[in-house]
Structure 1
Amino acid sequence: MNRLKQRGLTFLVLLTTAGMMTGCGGSSTPDLEKALAKTAEYEQKTVTSPASDSLGGEWTVIALARSGEKAEDNYFEKYRANLEKKLKEQDGILSENKYTEYSRAVLALCAIGEDPSEIGGYDIQKPLEDYETVVSQGLNGAVFALLALNAQDPQANKDGEIQKKYLDYILEQEKSDGGFSLDDNATEGDVDLTAMTLQCLEPYQEEENVKDTIDRGVEFLADAQDADGGYTAYGDKSSESVSQTIIALSTYGIDCNEDERFQKDGKGLYDTLMTYYQKDGSFSHTEDGDSDPMATDQAFCAMVAYERCQNKENSFYNMTDHR
């Protein structure tokens, strides 16, 4: 069935059975279908010419491409053109030392069905084979390199030599509490990096040692929740930590709003995320804050991941079903 048609039928069922609301939080939580459509519209209005950048660019492209929402005419073509222009202006170099720039661009290209090995005459996947430079960014660098290298076809790519090297590095970073941290010297895990790490382990989940790591990571995320259902990370209670956790749980088919481990104060995680939702479809960083581009991008990704989980589609980063 055509995805847009299927989404329409799903929405009709929600209208008649759930009063346009979803989750254990009841009538105060905006419906996922409507909220996702509103956010997709907002993102395209505010990011009119997506660039190769962490804000105003690739995350918007990735989320939109992985959703069933309609993209404006030539939206993805604009992104590719902007990326090619940047590569030509910089002699094929997106960054000298932040190779997450390459990982993010590879993910965006895979999401829209483009070949990252041939963009304006450059292979932007190639730098991710430079293990030392990638891990010089720490765990974050390795996690996103592994996501990018596996995105096109996880089952075909996951056992490559460089992929296994990143996997071993990542698994070695686990803290005693089952979490992962951006700080190599930290003794405890943090929410955001634990959630991101779980996202990249999906292709290896049948391997016993990896499965155990995933299970411990999920329990860490459940235990780390505040009493009100949110997360405090880096001294701040923010929507981004909730978004990353939703993406991680959705990766493994765990319903973030219905799983009892993640229900706090009468709310599931989707309910909690929507406390940051603004009327125009954007999201705030903090509950009482204004619209924030990074928070909106991450929440957009989270809603798409959750919808894909509910529809039993490929996970957010398994892009074998790209546009």
Structure 2
Amino acid sequence: MNTMKKRGCQILVLFMTAGMLTGCGDGTPKLEDALKKTASYEMKTVEDPASDALGGEWTVMALARSGEEVDENYFEKYRANVEKRVKEQEGVLSENRYTEYSRAVLALKSIGKDPTDIGGYDIEKPLEDFDTVVSQGLNGAIYALLALNADDPDANKDGELEQKYLDYIVEKEKDDGGFSLDDNATNGDVDLTAMTLQCLEPYQDENDVKEVIDKGVEFLADTQDDDGGYTAYGAKSSESISQTVIALSAVGVDCNEDERFQKDGKGLYDTLMTFCQKDGSFKHILDGESDPMATDQAFCAMVAYQRYQNKKNSFFDMTDHR
């Protein structure tokens, strides 16, 4: 997987409110209305989902986890495109960026397909190559752990490989409670901290991990800007908010109601909606235009928050896949 955000040094790494307006761009919409509009936008603009970070896996995952009505042929198109790519590349999605495998495994599991037999290839097996996975950095380990645990987190969380990834990830914690892609960095950054919390969800009942999660949540609260957003890698982007919403929803924190994440009476969902366009797409920065990466991540965030509110499995716990 290419990480959901990478612009320059950025990482390509993916609410009910008091407002009663129903359209993005006209104020803060209700979650159900905003989610439905973005789902419609995604299905119109990504008609043939590819095995790729953009126009592919994240769109598929968000639609699959959303509960919105989607033609099953849509997901079959994606599966067929993955199989075509796998066969053409003889089972090798990447020589060194194993997040390519993790992303595809997650998308396939979200639609109930077996990643161990795609065109005769097992595309989950490369995640057993710990050294190559972590050579990509912390994000490689994060998404490998998410992928391995996605279909049965309770069964896999005590596995030797999963434990190895968990230990590696937890050891990367910075003194401020955050995490960073840069091993030499003194402080954590928003996006990597949020992604780390997402993969730690199955381990919340373990005291040492619970402490890491709690410190990570506090880091995300302390790092929030006065206007309710986040500045990361020199820019105030919607993606950092989206990743935080996904993380908080995974670990049981209401991103819009928890006072730690409220600024001037507005929560993170409210702030995320300021990036929303009337057609349901999202901007990367407030004075920018619609951006497919920002839209995918915001869609994932809305789905994650709705699942939290409805007491459903978290976004990456895909035991209740389609």
TM range (shorter): over 0.9
Report the secondary structure of 1:57's partner residue: helix
After superposing on structure 2, the runs of 4+ consecutive aligned residues of structure 1 that deviate more than 6 Å are none
3-state SS of 1:312 partner: coil
Q: Which residue matches 2:208?
A: 209
Assess if the C-alpha contact under 8 Å between 1:100 and 1:144 holds in 2. yes
Q: Larger RCO: Structure 1 or Structure 2 (Cα < 8 Å, ≥ 6 residues apart)? A: 2
Partner residue, 1:85: 84
Taking the TM superposition and a 5 Å limit, the aligned residue runs for 1:165-176 are: 165-176=164-175
Aligned counterpart, 2:196: 197
1:152-192 deviation digits (Å, cap 9, x = unpaired): 00001111111000000000000000000011110100000
SS at match of 1:62: helix
Structural RMSD (CA): 1.4
| Kept in 1: contact 2:250–2:315 (CA 8 A) | yes
Question: Is the Cα–Cα contact under 8 Å of residues 191 and 245 in structure 1 kept in the other structure?
Answer: yes
Q: CA shift at 1:34, angstroms? A: 0.7
Matches within 5 A, 1:21-170: 28-170=27-169
Change (3 A) 1:73 1:168: closer
1:190, 1:233 within 8 Å by CA — same for their partners in 2?
A: yes
Contact 1:44 1:72 in 2 (8 A): no
C-alpha separation in 1, matches of 2:233 and 2:214: 23
The corresponding residue for 1:20 is 20
**Amino acid of the residue matched to residue 85 of structure 2?**
K
In structure 2, the partner of 1:3 is none
Q: Which one-letter code corresponds to 2:262 in the other structure?
A: Q
Contact 1:52 1:82 in 2 (8 A): yes
Instruction: Kindly provide the amino acid, as one letter, of the partner of residue 84 in structure 1.
Output: E
State the alpha-carbon separation in 2 of the partners of residues 73 and 19 from structure 1.
33
> Distance in 1 between the 2:269 and 2:95 partners?
38
Q: What's the secondary structure of 1:74's corresponding residue?
A: helix
Contact 1:129 1:162 in 2 (8 A): yes
Deviation at 1:63, TM superposition (A): 0.4
Give, in whole Å, the separation in 2 of the partners of 1:110 and 1:85.
Answer: 18
**In 1, distance between residues paired with 2:99 and 2:256?**
30
Deviation at 1:79, TM superposition (A): 0.1
Higher helix content, 1 or 2: 1
Deviation, 1:28, is: 3.0
Give 1:68 shift.
1.0
Count of residue pairs brought into register by the alignment: 304
Q: Secondary structure at the match of 1:42?
A: helix
The answer as to whether partners of 2:20 and 2:28 remain within 8 angstroms in 1 is no
Distance 1:112 1:289, change over 3 A: same
Which residue pairs with 1:282 in the alignment?
281
Shift of 1:317: 0.4
TM superposition shift of 1:252:
1.6
Change (3 A) 1:158 1:21: farther
Name the amino acid aligned to 1:277: C
Q: Residues of 1 paired with 2:248 and 2:288: CA distance?
A: 26
Q: Does 1:179 align with 2:178?
A: yes
State the alpha-carbon separation in 2 of the partners of residues 60 and 156 from structure 1: 27
Deviation at 1:248, TM superposition (A): 0.3
Normalised to the residue count of structure 2, the TM-score between the two structures is 0.92
Deviations 1:28-52 (A, max 9, x none): 3111101100100100111110001
> Cα deviations across residues 65-124 of structure 1 (Å, max 9, x unaligned)?
001111135000000000000000000110000000000000001100011111110111
Distance in 1 (CA, whole Å) between partners of 2:46 and 2:72 is 14
Report percent identity of matched pairs. 78
Task: Map Cα deviations across residues 4-35 of structure 1 (whole Å, 9 max, x no partner).
Answer: xxxxxxxxxx8xx967359xxxx931111011
Distance across 1 between alignment mates of 2:126 and 2:307:
30
Identify the range of structure 1 (69-78 vs 276-285) with the bigger mean alpha-carbon deviation.
69-78
Provide the C-alpha distance between the structure 1 equivalents of 2:304 and 2:225, rounded to a whole number of angstroms.
Answer: 23
**Paired residue secondary structure (1:28):** coil
* Residue ranges of structure 1 left out of the alignment (5+ in a row): 1-13
Other-structure match for 2:266: 267
Aligned with 2:53: secondary structure? coil
